[in-house]
Amino acid sequence: MDNSRASLAMERTGQWVFPREIPTDVIVEVGEANFSLHKFMLIAKSNYIRKLIIESKEADLARINLSNIPGGPEIFEKAARFCYGVNFDITVLNVAALRCAAEYLQMTDLYCENNLCSRTEDFLSQVPLSSLSGALVVLKSCEDLLPMAEDLKIVQRCVDVASAKACVEANFPSRSPPNWWTEELTILDVSFFEKIITSMKSGGAKALTIASAIITYAERSLRDLVRDHSGNGIKSLDSGESDIRIQQRDLLQSIVALMPPEKAAFPINFLCRLLRTGIFLRAANICKNELEKRISVILEHATVDDLLVLSFSYDGERQFDHESIRRIISGFVEKEKNVSVFNGGDFKEASSTAMQRVAKTVDAYLGEIATSVDLSISKFNGIANLVPKGARKVDDDLYRAIDIYLKVSKMPTLLVSWITRIVDDLKLSYRVIYCRLIQI
pLDDT of residue 350: 53
How far is it, in rounded angstroms, from Cα 305 to Cα 288? 19
pLDDT of residue 299: 96
How far is it, in rounded angstroms, from Cα 279 to Cα 272? 10
Among 74-83, 271-280, 373-382, whose mean pLDDT is lowest?
Answer: 373-382
pLDDT of residue 13: 60
Of the pLDDT bands very low, low, confident and very high (cuts 50, 70, 90), residue 440 is very low
pLDDT-above-90 percentage for the chain: 61
pLDDT of residue 3: 60
With beta carbons less than 8 A apart as the criterion, state whether 268 and 298 touch. yes
Q: Give yes or no for residue 268 having a pLDDT over 90.
A: yes
Which of the two residues, 308 and 105, has the higher pLDDT score? 105
Residue 147 preceded by cis peptide, ω within 30: yes
Among 165-179, 205-219, 303-317, whose mean pLDDT is lowest?
Answer: 303-317
How far is it, in rounded angstroms, from Cα 75 to Cα 263? 47
Of the pLDDT bands very low, low, confident and very high (cuts 50, 70, 90), residue 9 is low
pTM attached to this predicted model: 0.86
Strands 33-37 and 63-65: unpaired
Type of residue at 83:
C
Residue 267 preceded by cis peptide, ω within 30: no
Of the pLDDT bands very low, low, confident and very high (cuts 50, 70, 90), residue 430 is very low
Which of the two residues, 6 and 92, has the higher pLDDT score? 92
Type of residue at 404:
I
With beta carbons less than 8 A apart as the criterion, state whether 341 and 347 touch. yes
Q: What is the mean pLDDT of residues 374-388?
A: 86
pLDDT of residue 390: 82
In 249-353, beta strands by DSSP E: none
pLDDT of residue 100: 98
Q: What are the distances in angstroms from CA 158 to CA 77, 91, 189, 201, 214?
A: 25, 15, 14, 16, 19
How far is it, in rounded angstroms, from Cα 65 to Cα 76? 12
Of the pLDDT bands very low, low, confident and very high (cuts 50, 70, 90), residue 295 is very high
* Full strand arrangement of the beta sheet holding 26-30: 33-37, 26-30, 63-65
Identify the burial level of 301 via C-beta atoms within 10 angstroms of its C-beta, where 0-12 means exposed, 13-18 middle and 19 or more buried. middle
Which of the two residues, 399 and 168, has the higher pLDDT score? 168
Q: Give yes or no for residue 439 having a pLDDT over 80.
A: no
How far is it, in rounded angstroms, from Cα 439 to Cα 435? 6
> How many H helices and E strands in the chain?
22, 3
Of the pLDDT bands very low, low, confident and very high (cuts 50, 70, 90), residue 74 is very high
Which of the two residues, 129 and 414, has the higher pLDDT score? 129
Identify the burial level of 40 via C-beta atoms within 10 angstroms of its C-beta, where 0-12 means exposed, 13-18 middle and 19 or more buried. exposed
Q: How many CB atoms lie within 10 A of CB 188?
A: 22
pLDDT of residue 372: 82
Nearest to 64 by CA among 109, 22, 100, 29: 29
pLDDT tens-digit series, residues 51-64: 999 988 777 889 99
pLDDT-above-70 percentage for the chain: 81
pLDDT of residue 434: 40
Q: What is the mean pLDDT of residues 342-355?
A: 66
Average pLDDT in the chain = 85
| Helical pair 268-281 and 285-297, crossing angle rounded to 10 deg | 160
Q: Which helix (H) or strand (E) holds 32?
A: none
pLDDT of residue 243: 87
pLDDT of residue 404: 84
Q: Give yes or no for residue 418 having a pLDDT over 50.
A: no
pLDDT of residue 231: 43
Of the pLDDT bands very low, low, confident and very high (cuts 50, 70, 90), residue 397 is confident
pLDDT of residue 233: 46
Q: Give yes or no for residue 15 having a pLDDT over 70.
A: no
Identify the burial level of 62 via C-beta atoms within 10 angstroms of its C-beta, where 0-12 means exposed, 13-18 middle and 19 or more buried. exposed
Q: What is the mean pLDDT of residues 220-245?
A: 67
pLDDT of residue 424: 59
